[in-house]
Structure 1
Amino acid sequence: MKLLYYIFTGILAILLLQGCKPSISYFATDPDYKGKYMLYVQQTKGTKHINNSDINALYRQKAQYKLFGITPYLTIHYIGKSFYDTTFIKQEIQATKVRYDRKITKKPHSEKRYLALVAKRKKKIAKLENKLIHGNWVMGSFGEYPSILDTSVIKYTNAQISNYLSSNGYFNNQVKYNIDTLGRKAFVTYKVNQGNQYKYSILDYDIEDSVILDIVKNTKGTKIYLGDAYNQSKIDLERDRLYKLLKNRGYYEFSKAYINFVVDSTVGNNGIKLTLEIDQPIDNTVHTRYKLNNIIYIPVTGNTDSVSTYTDTLEYHSLKFCRNKTPYNYKILDGKIFTRHNSYFKQDSLIKTQQQLGSMDMYRFVNVNIIKRDSSTLDMLIYTNRLQKFSISQEYGLNVVQGVIPGPFFNVNFRNRNIFGNYEILDFNVRYAIEGQASVLDNQNKLQTIEWGISTSLTFPQLLSPTRIRFKAAKFNAKTRVTFGYNSTQRPEYNRYGFRSQFIYLWETSPYSQFSFTPVDINIINSTINMVEFSEYLNNLRVNGNNLYVSFLPSIVTNMNLTYTFSNNIFGKKTPSFYFRPSFELGGLIPNMINRNITHEDNNRLFGLQYYQYYKLQADFRYYRPIKEKTVLAVRLNVGLSKPFGTSGQKHGNNILPYEKYFFTGGSNSIRAWRYRRLGPGSYANPDETKQYTNEEPGNIVIETNFEFRRKLYSFIEGAYFIDAGNVWLLQEDKTRPGGEFKYFKSVPEIAIGTGAGLRLNFTFIIVRLDVAFKAWDPANALEDRYVLFKFEDKNNRPVYNFSLGYPF
């Protein structure tokens, strides 16, 4: 391992040295760039109260990428160029032309074959010519071309910075650029004199339509206030707000083109008079405010279905429902349609109606058409086409979660839509999986784990509640789900069987925010110990005061829980996004109440089954920020607390939790430099050094954070560099695991740190991931020996390879 360390260090040193050379040596002697300068540094000076990231985004030409003062991607570019032979490519182009010309003229071809050969010839030559112009894949995909100074682009950027300052109220700004050179490096500085910032001193309206004027003046939410600095972005937001406001107040034909803002900067004292103008339509004196007349639901069963083809139409709450041979519950659909007869047209209601009907998983499509009835009324026609009543989906593949050895799995789901005629969905699921996991007692011993289960769920398209809240909750796309399932986990150490039933409420407050409330979650678990060694391990913990063995007794785990999920990530858009998922779980109240008032059993038993009183809090926060076109910074923070209380708490001498309610760290989606579930707790170290990190280590407190730079390297190949930090801790001292208790700020040195790099194969539909992680700070060692990066002579510090599917977070 020492040899590996020296080799790795040597390669790193060579790359560092080579990274300094291209800008000085390789670039200077490159004949392709003779007499040209590399844009090495680009900066702006003199700005105040301006977001520097906004200024940097205006640079039309990017400076050469540097890392700690070196240019690593340029180094890779020149490594690729070292085996880039233009003469060979030109010869290959000529040979390709000759070869295909011979094929085409050698014998007569059918028209189809002739056109295919011509197209193939053209494609081959285009690919080679592109390679001749842009170089090989190492030069442009893994590497970075030299950023050649272009003064015309610098002038354009200079103008863009000036325009940006003007759009933020600095109308009298001056921007000049200066180019300095050192050898073949160019240093560009944009020198800014912002001048005074103009602010709104007068806000006025020029709106002839008195109804629109009243709506605009008396509606809250404006983006522009008296005394604010001029900001073009806020004016654009205000235009969008006014457009949406009027579209939701009946102005069906209104467009943004009618909205204008007139800026007068001549009022003095750096003040601005901002006048909002809303033009009148050319062919009318006022904007028409439309009301809805007929709102008709049409279940399409053919290509020519229209209102006239239905002889049976039912009216309910002013909505008209066309009926055919297939019955449906119009009362439930009434709660999914958010507009009514004689109400003003509202764009948001139309969109929400389409979204909620579409989310029922009942229809192939949901189309909402608006038809002008006369000069002031509209008809809304809602077309739907029903999905098949029965469907079967099947999944087969390789099961790679955090197990050591991947294994096969299959998952079959049978779905019955509208089973009782009220838009319910019945799902029946069967799953079977095999994977190799490290033994609970020894992470070097890989054992086969078999998991299988069957489950069924029934989803209702509304809240099942005896009160009228189920009608009020309809606008939140509320659903109720009842589930029943049986699951079996078979490991060499133990078998674990569980029956679970849940009653879940689901609702959404926005496209980004979802809630889940489970008032009833019952899990009946039975375990059998298969290995004498594992039984002795639990007994040894018991003798020393650790009650982990109780988690493997026949038990009933009940809880109620609430989870909130926020995610504003939009697929396909490279914008900063957040993910936040806090949850609260409270367990054991009902069994304890029954025990205390009815059964009066000892040792937290209910009908002979162990029960647990506990609460669990957890929050998972993630942030994704694009840094460059091909680079994304991903950050994650996961914290949690799981604590027994009442008769399961420390005062009663128990201090136990269900095994699944503990926290664990380590693994491919956690702290990657440690094996799955092997890190912690705290600074605990196994007295037998040969068995360090061999056992699963549960804890009551978890703190995990991950930083990962993800970069697209070539086509579907991505690279990543990451730093992971975290640990689990116990709530109080445990004689069997000394050093594991949480001591607030004194526990900071017990935060484990790992680092590493990885490759990802992004096939869009699946991501295959391989990460190599190294321990950097190991809290299991004495404080002075905790820095362990590249100290491979200790087997516990050797690299950990993580193979998995999907991103870690």
Structure 2
Amino acid sequence: MKSLINRIYILVAAALLLLSASCSQTKKLAEGEVLYTGVKKMKIETAEGVKLEGAQSSAISSPLSYPPNNPLYAPYVRSPFPVGLWVYNWNIKKEKGLKYWLYKKLAKKPVLISDVQPELRLKVVDNAAKDYGYFGVEASYEIIPNKRNPKKAKISYHVNIPKPYMFGDIAFWGWKGRMDSLLQRTKQRCLLIKGTEYSVYAMEDERARITQLLRNNGYYYFQSDYIEFLADTTREKRVADIRVALKHGVPAIALQPYKIGKVELVLEEPDQSGTPDSLSYKEINVKYMKPLGVKPKVLARSMHLLPGNTYSFRRQNRTQTSLARLGIFKYTNVDVTRTDTAKTEEFGKLNFGINAVYDLPIETEIELDVSSKSNNLLGPGLIFSITNKNLFRGGENLSFKLNGAYEWEVGDKQGNSKSGLINSYELGVNVALSLPRLLVPNFLKSTKDFTERTHFQVGVDFLNRHTFFRMISFTGATSYDFQSSYRVYHSVTPLKISYTHLLRTSSEFDETMENNPAIAMSFKNQFIPSMSYTYTYDRGATSRNPNRFYWQNMLMSAGNILSAIQYLSGNHKGEGKTIFGNTYSQFLKVTSEVIVYRKLTENSLIATRFMGGIGYAYGNSEVMPYSEQFYIGGANSIRAFTIRSIGPGSYHQKSDNKTAYLDQTGDIKLEGNIELRFKIAGDLNGAVFLDAGNVWLLRNDSKRPGGEFKLSGLLKEIALGTGFGLRYDIGFIVIRGDLGVPLHTPYKNPDKHGYYNIPKFWNGLAFHLAIGYPF
């Protein structure tokens, strides 16, 4: 009965919405009110030789891009179904019932021409143009009534941008003594350059540079507001000479440099337990509760504020950052007090009190997930980890991680009634030690204050694929992570050794390997001694530039050093070399990925990704190990296809083949994605996406016809899919659901020819439930 009532409510609601389609959108407008229906035309003309760049163009067009009700492509196109306005114009007589509930949920107040305030918007445009040096902007607007309904109107804007003013002579004015010396000594770093376009933002950057310079040279109390710019435009047409001046009335304490006096570091236990004690190390007084939870030399390495030194904001920031990077403190606070000094003394003194509160030393984490794979396996996975965050009293992290997964077959396409009993499982243990510094010779260490960590890791993993195989894998690795600048990250793995060993195989698996020799070689028992380097450039979004650019490149080499050692030892065989009686892999692998986020409006952006990779096995190997081969499809790839369900090239297995996913890998990968992300309501966001890509083989494989990479016919071998998705962002986690729709498969379909070769639309849909964004 309850289900029937719910259906009736839905039908009634749908009927009410259909009836509202005939309602007027302007029914409740008062006399003189006009509904704003968007921008008819936005004409922005520039003087000869003037070209507005991205930020300049956005600053001028954004104030005019006010969206109307129910925008489809703001501010020009509205949705043909302005449901919010239709519902707003209902006659609500009772504040109860379904109709009133719908009204409260769906009604949207009309956006009026008076709300838009076009005159005010043109003034905002004029001010924005002045910020970039375009003085004397000519702007106008026109209200264009709707021919059928005069209570509706659009707005057209016309903006004429003149030639910009240029920076002329730049001079520092009104600075005295030590301040003036500092500015003159660093004048070549001034961000205001003669002959470049006048810009308020360049002056703000110069103000920040000067403030940072002074605060790093003792002027603790100096603020950017104490700097002003005086422009003189009388000397030459459209040229502004700039004086960078010190304001009048700046407090005396801001004009005096300071040295560091006493430095006290207080280490607090969360529960205040222990016996109070203190020690002095390199003139720093340390107060703590016995026993001391961190080595004094580790603290000294993190302390950059030393008594007697000239105060530097950079050193203060480095001190707090270094203490935080140890990973053993919950938070740190810095308290600064000024001491009374004689007026004749050039420098004042600042005493520093630093409070650091210990975090809990042991951290545990449990992660549970459910996976669904293209081979009809479904099941839960569990990861349990425990970490000691201060193993040797120096911020060293020792973690133990246990992982397990269990899967069962949920859809046997051959009609086996016992398919639900077929199961697979995976068990693993991993031990990792992470140090908050680089364990390298001193001459390789950087003096820059960026994140540095050294990692050691060993692990073992047991994998059981019921009716196929049992495999055990061992892994050991050493790696270094560090930064060379605020945007550039490096990861170097000088040594990683993996060993895989098949414990048992089934007759079905053996038959598959016999029919696919190339795949069989990738599954054989082998060592993988490798080294790799990853370079990452990440220009994050800022208020000035909201567009993020991310570029990551990885180079991996396996077996080459070992092969060279054996060659120098007299083993000149090109293949068949072994270590401990097992063949080792030899290959090179390169990958590159570019991600760009371009913000469109406050609530929408375009995210694009392009990635490619190539791997080449040689010498001691004919194919790369299976774990290093490329695959495509799935929740974070081409979402119209399940993982490992397409490729290599135009090769295709029958859909009822359980082992099809084993040979749908390749040596080359190309993939491109573009996604429009937008806010729907509250924490609910939407996306429309287009994905394309495939994997290929470098060498011809007769068992996988059509898999080899060739330029001829390449476009036809790129799978294409589209779709839409919902993302629920609850802050610390994003729950994502994507419905993919295939448009083109790289293989031929006998039931449908041409480029759009999907025979049945509904049979090709793929739904993915995932955590986080795909890229």
Q: What TM-score, normalized by structure 2, do the two folds share?
A: 0.84
Question: Residues 522 and 641 from structure 1, CA distance in 2 versus in 1: closer, same or farther, beyond 3 angstroms?
Answer: same
CA contact (8 A) 1:678 1:693 kept: no
Alignment correspondent of 1:49: 51
Alignment correspondent of 1:99: none
Alignment correspondent of 2:6: none
C-alpha distance in structure 1 between counterparts of 2:630 and 2:623, whole Å = 13
Alignment correspondent of 2:532: 561
Which one of 195, 200, 209 corresponds to residue 241 of structure 1?
209
Which one of 266, 276, 279 corresponds to residue 313 of structure 1?
279
Alignment correspondent of 2:403: 431
The structure with higher relative contact order (CA 8 Å, sep 6+) is 1
Matched to 2:208, the amino acid is: D
Matched to 2:129, the amino acid is: L
Does the alignment pair 1:156 with 2:120?
yes
Alignment correspondent of 1:62: 67
Which one of 85, 91, 95 corresponds to residue 89 of structure 1?
95
Question: Residues 439 and 397 from structure 1, CA distance in 2 versus in 1: closer, same or farther, beyond 3 angstroms?
Answer: closer
Superposed displacement of residue 258, structure 1: 1.2
Matched to 2:496, the amino acid is: D
Does the alignment pair 1:182 with 2:146?
yes
C-alpha distance in structure 1 between counterparts of 2:145 and 2:533, whole Å = 61
Matched to 2:584, the amino acid is: Y
Does the alignment pair 1:502 with 2:477?
yes
Question: Equivalent residues in 2 for 1:201-600 (5 A)?
Answer: 201-219=168-186, 220-279=188-247, 282=250, 284=252, 287-301=255-269, 312-316=278-282, 318-322=283-287, 324-327=289-292, 328-375=294-341, 376-399=348-371, 407-435=379-407, 448-465=423-440, 467-469=441-443, 472=446, 475-492=449-466, 493-510=468-485, 512-542=487-517, 547-569=518-540, 575-593=546-564, 595-596=566-567, 600=571
Does the alignment pair 1:801 with 2:767?
yes
Superimposed CA distance per residue, residues 715-760 of structure 1 (whole angstroms, 9 cap, x where no aligned partner): 3333221100111111132222222222347523322110111223
C-alpha distance in structure 2 between counterparts of 1:553 and 1:625, whole Å = 45
Alignment correspondent of 2:78: 71
C-alpha distance in structure 1 between counterparts of 2:484 and 2:80, whole Å = 45
Question: Residues 260 and 67 from structure 1, CA distance in 2 versus in 1: closer, same or farther, beyond 3 angstroms?
Answer: closer
Superposed displacement of residue 709, structure 1: 1.7
Matched to 1:149, the amino acid is: I
Superposed displacement of residue 154, structure 1: 0.7
C-alpha distance in structure 2 between counterparts of 1:540 and 1:718, whole Å = 47
CA contact (8 A) 1:27 1:33 kept: no
Matched to 2:66, the amino acid is: Q
Question: Residues 323 and 182 from structure 1, CA distance in 2 versus in 1: closer, same or farther, beyond 3 angstroms?
Answer: closer
Question: Equivalent residues in 2 for 1:23-172 (5 A)?
Answer: 27=24, 30-32=27-29, 36-42=34-40, 43-47=42-46, 48-50=50-52, 51-59=56-64, 61-63=66-68, 65-67=71-73, 71-72=78-79, 74-77=81-84, 86-89=92-95, 135-139=103-107, 147-150=111-114, 153-172=117-136
Alignment correspondent of 2:3: none
Tell me the SS of whatever aligns to 2:661: coil
C-alpha distance in structure 2 between counterparts of 1:86 and 1:510, whole Å = 62
Alignment correspondent of 1:612: 585
Tell me the SS of whatever aligns to 1:755: strand
Matched to 1:557, the amino acid is: I
Matched to 2:43, the amino acid is: T
CA contact (8 A) 2:222 2:254 kept: no
Tell me the SS of whatever aligns to 1:457: strand
Superposed displacement of residue 275, structure 1: 0.9
C-alpha distance in structure 2 between counterparts of 1:245 and 1:611, whole Å = 56
Superimposed CA distance per residue, residues 387-428 of structure 1 (whole angstroms, 9 cap, x where no aligned partner): 233343333454569886653232222222332333322111
Question: Residues 405 and 154 from structure 1, CA distance in 2 versus in 1: closer, same or farther, beyond 3 angstroms?
Answer: farther
Question: Residues 559 and 700 from structure 1, CA distance in 2 versus in 1: closer, same or farther, beyond 3 angstroms?
Answer: same
Identity of aligned residues (%): 24
Matched to 2:582, the amino acid is: L
Tell me the SS of whatever aligns to 1:213: helix
CA contact (8 A) 1:401 1:805 kept: no
Alignment correspondent of 2:13: none
Superposed displacement of residue 255, structure 1: 0.9
CA contact (8 A) 2:45 2:160 kept: yes
Question: Residues 537 and 675 from structure 1, CA distance in 2 versus in 1: closer, same or farther, beyond 3 angstroms?
Answer: same
Superposed displacement of residue 623, structure 1: 2.2
Tell me the SS of whatever aligns to 2:112: coil
Alignment correspondent of 1:641: 614
C-alpha distance in structure 2 between counterparts of 1:772 and 1:607, whole Å = 49
Superposed displacement of residue 710, structure 1: 2.1
Does the alignment pair 1:624 with 2:572?
no
Superimposed CA distance per residue, residues 467-516 of structure 1 (whole angstroms, 9 cap, x where no aligned partner): 22476467333221211111122212222211111111122334554322
CA contact (8 A) 1:665 1:728 kept: yes
Tell me the SS of whatever aligns to 2:632: coil
Matched to 2:563, the amino acid is: N
C-alpha distance in structure 2 between counterparts of 1:92 and 1:440, whole Å = 45
Deviates more, 1:35-44 or 1:342-351: 35-44
Alignment correspondent of 2:5: none
Q: What's the C-alpha RMSD, in Å, of the aligned pairs?
A: 3.7
CA contact (8 A) 2:34 2:153 kept: no
Tell me the SS of whatever aligns to 2:357: strand
Superimposed CA distance per residue, residues 681-729 of structure 1 (whole angstroms, 9 cap, x where no aligned partner): 122244x687699434111111111111222323333322110011111
User: Whose strand fraction is larger, Structure 1's or Structure 2's?
Assistant: 2
Deviates more, 1:256-265 or 1:400-409: 400-409
Question: Residues 412 and 388 from structure 1, CA distance in 2 versus in 1: closer, same or farther, beyond 3 angstroms?
Answer: same
Question: Residues 780 and 155 from structure 1, CA distance in 2 versus in 1: closer, same or farther, beyond 3 angstroms?
Answer: same
Question: Residues 36 and 406 from structure 1, CA distance in 2 versus in 1: closer, same or farther, beyond 3 angstroms?
Answer: farther
Superposed displacement of residue 378, structure 1: 1.7
User: Whose helix fraction is larger, Structure 1's or Structure 2's?
Assistant: 1
Tell me the SS of whatever aligns to 1:170: coil
Superimposed CA distance per residue, residues 277-300 of structure 1 (whole angstroms, 9 cap, x where no aligned partner): 013655549811112233333322
Superimposed CA distance per residue, residues 178-231 of structure 1 (whole angstroms, 9 cap, x where no aligned partner): 222332453322222333422122222213313222322332443211011211
Alignment correspondent of 1:109: none
Tell me the SS of whatever aligns to 1:450: strand
Question: Residues 640 and 178 from structure 1, CA distance in 2 versus in 1: closer, same or farther, beyond 3 angstroms?
Answer: same
Question: Residues 646 and 708 from structure 1, CA distance in 2 versus in 1: closer, same or farther, beyond 3 angstroms?
Answer: same
Does the alignment pair 1:695 with 2:670?
no
Question: Residues 92 and 703 from structure 1, CA distance in 2 versus in 1: closer, same or farther, beyond 3 angstroms?
Answer: closer
In structure 2, list runs of 5 or more residues that go unmatched: 1-17, 342-347
CA contact (8 A) 2:268 2:288 kept: no
CA contact (8 A) 2:474 2:499 kept: yes
C-alpha distance in structure 2 between counterparts of 1:330 and 1:617, whole Å = 43
CA contact (8 A) 2:512 2:659 kept: no
CA contact (8 A) 2:385 2:399 kept: yes
Q: What TM-score, normalized by structure 1, do the two folds share?
A: 0.81
C-alpha distance in structure 1 between counterparts of 2:386 and 2:444, whole Å = 28
Deviates more, 1:514-523 or 1:184-193: 184-193
CA contact (8 A) 1:578 1:624 kept: yes
Question: Residues 417 and 496 from structure 1, CA distance in 2 versus in 1: closer, same or farther, beyond 3 angstroms?
Answer: same
Question: Residues 435 and 366 from structure 1, CA distance in 2 versus in 1: closer, same or farther, beyond 3 angstroms?
Answer: farther
Alignment correspondent of 1:767: 734
Matched to 2:494, the amino acid is: P
Matched to 1:480, the amino acid is: T
